[in-house]
Structure 1
Amino acid sequence: MEVLWFQMSLPGHEDCGNILVVYNIPHGIQGPNHPNPIKLFTTRGFPHQCYLPDDAQGHKVLGVLKVAWKRQLIVTVGTSNTTGEMDTVVWNKIHRKPEMDHSVTGHGYPCPNYLQNMLAELAAQGVTQDYMEQQ
């Protein structure tokens, strides 16, 4: 997980820059916590990115994302809902905004409730701001 900061603002967050989070996962062999241990897995579409506003709420989400990444909760190995491909890296019920705006796939900004929704999705995985403050 790599984090980069840019001065360009996101739609709906014109008062600040943006944070680009890049997930780069190489293909490999499934471990004991995956569906088919010892079998190869693929990583189509990686590296993958997402955008956050560079403000207090964006920093809060970034902090929780970092904990989730360390705990290996962001992605898992499974079957892709998009392609049906088995034994591939899939997102683990945590939505991202891979675009700065809605121009290509509709998964961009503005999205008024996105940061709150993302914190709720991370909390459902057991990672909260309260958890971070206890560490």
Structure 2
Amino acid sequence: MPPGIQGSMSYSEMPISLQGHSRYSTLKITYTIPDGIQGDRHPSPGSPFQGGVFEAFIPYCEMTKRLLPRLKKAFKQRLTFTVTEKEDAAVVTWDCIPHKTSLQGGKSSNGYPDSSYLTRLSEVLTSHGIEG
């Protein structure tokens, strides 16, 4: 989340399974970032940016139960999103914490199956000092 911006993170369980995780239901994580004004760390301080609603999907398994508090911490520490310039406008985009934004399509489409995703997510969180 960009500095100085209030946003929210929520999640809900979906009664479907992701490819490669057929024994588990799915958690849909929803991040809501309101429009705002860029701060000192943004590309154009003082200029507006467009927020948005962002969704990600993760299998609801034991490892996820340990990762979820770490994802919340990453969000609160403003590691999940950033502001970037795109075609005459500044918008909120995903930052350094990897999220799966598609239910399918595999790794190349930011979806499932991706057998190494949960391990990779844990490693990225740890590299940013967010321990479980």
| TM surpasses 0.5 | yes
What do you get for the CA RMSD once the two structures are aligned? 2.0
TM-score (normalizing by structure 2) = 0.82
1:31 alignment partner AA: G
> Quick check: 1:57 aligned with 2:60?
no
Corresponding residue number in structure 2 for 1:71:
77
Mapped pair 1:88 → 2:65: no
Percent identical: 29
Secondary structure of the 2:130 match is coil
Q: Report the residue type matching 1:94 in the other structure.
A: I
| Unaligned stretches of 5+ residues in structure 1 | 130-135
Question: Aligned partners of 1:10, 1:112: CA distance in 2, in Å?
Answer: 11
Residue correspondences, number: 123
TM-score w.r.t. structure 1 length? 0.80
- In the TM superposition, residue 27 of structure 1 has moved relative to its aligned partner by 1.1
Matched, 1:39 2:47: yes
Q: Call closer, same or farther: CA 1:26–1:116 in 2, change over 3 Å.
A: same
Amino acid at match of 1:19: L
3-state secondary structure, aligned to 1:52: strand
Match of 2:4 in 1: none
- Residue 32 of structure 1 deviates from its aligned partner by 3.1
Q: CA deviation at 1:99?
A: 1.3
Could you tell me which of 3, 24, 31 is aligned with 2:32? Answer: 24
SS class of match (2:19): coil
Instruction: Provide, for residues 102-133 of structure 1, a one-character-per-residue CA deviation record: whole Å limited to 9, x for no partner.
Output: 18x7221110000111112222222121xxxx
Partner of 2:125: 122
Q: Which residue of 1 aligns with 2:54?
A: 48
- On the 8 A contact 2:83/2:90 being kept in 1, the answer is yes
- From the two aligned structures, give the one with the greater strand fraction: 2
SS of 1:127's partner is coil
Q: Segments of 4+ in structure 1 off by > 3 A?
A: 83-86
* Structure 2 gaps, min length 5: 1-8
Pick one of 13, 20, 40 that aligns with 1:12.
Answer: 20
